[in-house]
Structure 1
């Protein structure tokens, strides 16, 4: 029998209760506990080799545990999310990060396989494509007292389906940002009394996702990148009494973040936390404006233009859908997004977690 730490017993008990059949629950919990202890590749076969040292196991039984799954993965995800949040983030806003990762899988009969850009192997001048699955991952940032940087713990995972697969199944195609909005909606539904701050890269810094965050402004704040020459406007003026015609949807045009930075007025030097838990000396320009898209309306944002004074990083421009958020908080929140890259690199190289979630 595997003896697990006392602190993990409530989690394993809740996981068992979330599965209908006791025998299936026992195998799932046993597999989960062994996967924590196994060294090297966290494949099903590697976990079973460890379990065979404790008790006789039938490999096909555990393989069918995933291939013929009858348990609800979303219910198990809620159990894990409750355990993580109640233990590590019991109070205050919950910081969450999102990203996408490609898991190579070239088999002819693999469901959902498509040709995706591999962000790890690609650069600004060279693009590498890979056949396989693209997973949309939502993780919670957890800060531990003995670590110099937060840890990104994956909570929800969704498979991206390309347009060809969606057309064959007669389903509406969803972008990565739309899928992420769905995952965030699930998380907000599970924890209706909590507020979330989400950080994502350019793929999630879209106007549609900014509108989604603005619609749930009391529960969700989006932090992402925005182009330095973005078109920003003042809020629409109030309509004058007795005036006919269509009311204005935006106010006067504002200088772009890049133009404000080039003017050199209003910049502030500060030291902020950067990628990987390090620190950077930067010069920051910030302002508030309305991000407008024709036919979609406006979203009030705070933008932050960052110049790296150490000379090792290019200039960056971030934004948040909460104008009250400070520039330091926006920069550090986006810098914390890097931790999900580390998590996904370890998952892809060491485990078949995402494939099992399919």
Structure 2
């Protein structure tokens, strides 16, 4: 039923959203907290661009005279995005990875942005539009995101949940500001060590592509965690040094004889291959049979100490994929486990695509340094929050949007955000059935906002 007499400017924040976000309450002051709730509510309910104005409109605050205060939450208010990320990491690990190793994937993405005032902007290779034979440049911001790779209760797939996202300014930007330029691997080292300090006593496994197969990064991580990454087929691998005797002169040797290159092992017919079945492989739901050979060696690069690693050389019996090599700084890991953990990394690309499609990443219009540094990590963190909230609303057997001609066999993030939006829109209506139920009146303004959200969805 409609309440024709009651008109409100902006619905109050639903109680369930306050409960979901209660863990972050100490990170903000009391005035800022109420505005943060509105921005989070608008970020979930809005469709299309994720600007502050779109968040205000969808929450019924288009006529709010204090609209500038909501902008100031991002560009001026005093709160720490690192403190927010730390609480998000703790909640994700507590709910989804209560025991066992915490697997964290790391990868970078380009947020395509233009504008003279965006100081951290640079020109990069566009990983989405480029291919092996076609190079496309893009102007934008480079972000390095750390994501917990874990299963969730409402889907059978591994999900990549962002917990910490860092802005890596371009070399031109650092030069103009007189700052020392830090490489992507430098940011990866700092982020990995920060996450390790936030999870004391837990075993952590970092997964990265070939961009993170760097000696300095591996040496920094191996003290606190494990690194699994791609390995070049021409990497310098050595055997263990020979044992010392009473007649051995000089200081102890760091490495032994040089081992054959991995590309040489591929061409050697005497190489012994073992067939294994990998349960999760790219595009193979039922598993994939691979041929592998593995060993332990010392990875060496001039100027850095040797690093004991377990390497795995993989080839496809069907010949559809080029041979690949992987390494782990934990030499006790089994080769099949290494491959299964590395394959989880593909979900990072899925998360980047879904945040652009459903949460409006790249549609923000902030240009101040502080607002830029806060907005994109907040949207990526919202992806993790929605995935957590959906655990309370969905199960694998629940099939929203089902029809007689279509039955979903697996839930996706679109189902998760749809369930959360439905809870925020109408979750407070008819929640209970008292002995003498009275009709709940749906505010007219809410119906109008729901209609506007449908009309301007694209």
Structures share fold, TM-score greater than 0.5:
yes
- Distance in 2, matches of 1:183 and 1:330, equals 22
Alpha-carbon distance, 1:31 to partner? 1.7
Residue equivalent to 2:267: 262
The answer to whether structure 1 residue 208 and structure 2 residue 213 are counterparts is no
Write the deviation string for residues 318-337 of structure 1: whole angstroms up to 9, x where unpaired: 11111111111111111110
Output aligned runs, 1:264-303, within 5 Å.
264=269, 265-272=271-278, 273-275=280-282, 278=285, 279-303=287-311
The answer to whether 1:248 aligns with 2:259 is no
Cα distance between partner residues in 1 of 2:186 and 2:251: 31
Q: Is the deviation greater in 279-288 or in 27-36? A: 27-36
Q: Which region of structure 1 is more displaced relative to structure 2, 72-81 or 228-237?
A: 228-237
Shift of 1:230: 1.7
For residues 337 and 352 of structure 2, the distance between their equivalents in structure 1, rounded to whole angstroms, comes to 24
Bigger drift between 322-331 and 47-56 goes to 47-56
Shift of 1:241: 3.9
Q: CA RMSD in A?
A: 2.3
User: What's the CA shift string for 1:111-141, capped at 9, x where partnerless?
Assistant: 2111111111111122211111101111111
| 2:32–2:77 contact (8 Å) kept in structure 1 | no
In structure 2, C-alpha distance between the alignment counterparts of 1:4 and 1:38, rounded to whole Å: 19
Find the counterpart in structure 1 of residue 374 from structure 2.
357
CA distance in 2, matches of 1:54, 1:84: 34
The answer to whether the aligner puts 1:2 opposite 2:13 as a matched pair is: yes
Whether the 8 Å CA contact 2:167–2:373 is kept in 1: the answer is no
- For residues 225 and 241 of structure 1, the distance between their equivalents in structure 2, rounded to whole angstroms, comes to 40
| CA distance in structure 1 between the aligned counterparts of 2:344 and 2:25, rounded to whole angstroms | 33
Q: Secondary structure at the match of 2:300?
A: strand
Question: Equivalents in 1 of 2:69, 2:274: separation in Å?
Answer: 62
Aligned in 2, Cα 1:71/1:276: closer, same or farther, shift over 3 Å? farther
2:167 maps to what in 1?
A: 159
Tell me the residue number matched to 2:205: 197
Length-normalised TM-score, structure 2: 0.72
Aligned residues of 2:32 and 2:73 also touching (Cα < 8 A): yes
Q: Which runs of 5+ in 1 are unaligned?
A: none
1:175 to 172, 180, 183: 183
Q: Note if contact 1:11-1:80 (Cα within 8 Å) is conserved in structure 2.
A: no
- The structure with more radius of gyration: 2
5 Å matches for 1:37-52?
37-52=45-60
Give the TM-score taking structure 1 as reference length: 0.90
> What is the aligned length?
352
Higher RCO (Cα < 8 Å, 6 or more apart):
2
Structure 2 alignment gaps of length 5 or more:
1-11, 365-371, 376-458
Query: 1:229 and 1:333 mapped to 2: Cα distance?
Result: 23
Go from structure 1 to structure 2 and tell me whether the alpha carbon gap of 1:132 and 1:169 turns closer, same or farther (over 3 Å shift): same
Q: Given that residues 41 and 55 in structure 2 are in contact (C-alpha distance below 8 angstroms), is that contact kept between their aligned partners in structure 1?
A: no
Q: Residue 60 of structure 1 corresponds to which residue in structure 2?
A: 68
The structure whose residues are more often strand, as a share, is 1
